[in-house]
Amino acid sequence: MASRPWVVFEDAFSQKPNLQLHDLTYPDIHRFSTSLLRSNPYFPHLELREPERAGSLIEAVTTRAAGVFLWVDLAVNSLLSGLSNRDRMSDLQRRLEEIPPDLERFYEKIFDGIESIYMEHACQLFQLASEAEGSMTVLQLSFADDDITVDDFLKRPTGLLSEDGREDRFKTTKRRLNSRCKGFLEIPTASHSGHSLVDSKVTYLHRTARDFLLSSPMKRGIAKGVDESFDPVSLLFHASIMHLKVYDGEPISESDNSRLWSLIDSTMVLASRCEAASLQAQTRLLKEIDHLVTEITHITRDCPHESGAGEYSRPTRHWSDSTRRGGGQANGFMDLATTYNMPLYMMHTIRAAIRGELEEERDPSANSSRRPLRIEPVERGPLNIHGYLFHAVRGYKRNPGFVSGLGHACPGCPL
């Protein structure tokens, strides 16, 4: 068993065999520190000019680390910054002395070192990472950080990103993280077979860094650092839709072996969170999701007509008919939406259909072959929410008040 060297532990286990972990790891940390410092081309020159002081610096790093490799990594990064500025040996020693030996105080020092011009942006990035809960890719962060309006992002063309475009987004996002977040957020550089760098996950430096940023005092400070209008969940939702716009993976598969369902699922979860937070139906954006996945399915799954090569027919089934991760099939987009607890969207769509307002948008750029939404009863599922709504629509002329009351009942339904 390992523990901090607190008095209570020393008293409890004083008569038991024990060892000091930092003594055991001292040689490894010494080699680690030396390797990191010598990675800078200027340090070997310092070793030649002042070998004793250079050796003392490495010894000081190793001793102050107290067996914590993460502390070494953070401390040496500060020293490397000084080496890049051609600091003198005395400057490097002063840098090291100013680094707190405790990790939390060290994190506070790093956070306080964020440039004032970047502090608001850094807090925005920290909030995005917090709300993403470990699922944010470089590409998604890149889109969320684009600083554009909903109308602007909806107008962006659908199509694959070029390799140059992907590389530019990766490099830009990495530079922004490095300059704004001071290492708290990073992109692991390990390559993953078959995946682009922009598909890498944005991660915290370490679990302790995550705990520090998500502590109550830090969360309050980060929240104060951003404008009240900043909405990280909405930005992640919009970014996921943009990801669908540039999706380049495999189509939906009957055997559920594609990553498209994973992207759809995360996007729908964000849509539900946006509805719950804003108390507004995300109808416009949900229609965009349905349209985009329909287009992806059309491009990747359609087969040529027998009558003519190069001509493609639209799928006769809705894309949600495929088995999705987590179980079951859906009979259309409305049925799929019920599994993500979006009653306001359901009500908005039902009411629009009742009033005859759910017409196909006359957009010249839209594909005229898109089918209008159909509301049909679905006699399955534990709550049979579609059957409930269907009977409400069917009985509208006989009992309009019942439908009006539905708006109050539906949001409370445990979908």
Do 185 and 328 reside in the same domain of the chain?
no
Do 228 and 202 reside in the same domain of the chain?
yes
Determine the pLDDT at residue 188. 83
Do 72 and 86 reside in the same domain of the chain?
yes
Closest CA to 185 of 224, 138, 115: 138
The reply to whether 8 falls in a domain is no
Determine the pLDDT at residue 404. 47
The reply to whether 334 falls in a domain is yes
Question: Which residue among 99, 114, 130 closes a domain?
Answer: 99
Q: Total domain count for the chain?
A: 3
Question: Which residue among 76, 99, 122 closes a domain?
Answer: 99
Determine the pLDDT at residue 307. 38
Do 175 and 130 reside in the same domain of the chain?
yes
> Does pTM top 0.85 for this prediction?
no
Which residues constitute the domain of residue 175? Answer: 102-248
Do 328 and 274 reside in the same domain of the chain?
yes
Do 321 and 186 reside in the same domain of the chain?
no
The reply to whether 46 falls in a domain is yes
Do 70 and 145 reside in the same domain of the chain?
no
The reply to whether 308 falls in a domain is no
Do 139 and 85 reside in the same domain of the chain?
no
The reply to whether 6 falls in a domain is no
Do 68 and 110 reside in the same domain of the chain?
no
The reply to whether 14 falls in a domain is no
Distances (CA, A) of 308 to 174, 301, 311: 47, 17, 6
The reply to whether 367 falls in a domain is no
The reply to whether 224 falls in a domain is yes
Do 183 and 264 reside in the same domain of the chain?
no
CB neighbours of residue 134 within 10 Å: 11
Distance (Å, rounded) from C-alpha 414 to C-alpha 276?
13
Q: pLDDT means per 10 residues in the chain (415 residues)?
A: 47 56 72 89 88 90 84 89 88 90 90 95 97 93 89 82 91 94 86 69 92 95 95 95 86 60 92 93 92 78 41 58 57 80 84 58 44 41 46 46 44 39
Do 191 and 106 reside in the same domain of the chain?
yes
Do 170 and 155 reside in the same domain of the chain?
yes
Question: Which residue among 53, 70, 99 closes a domain?
Answer: 99
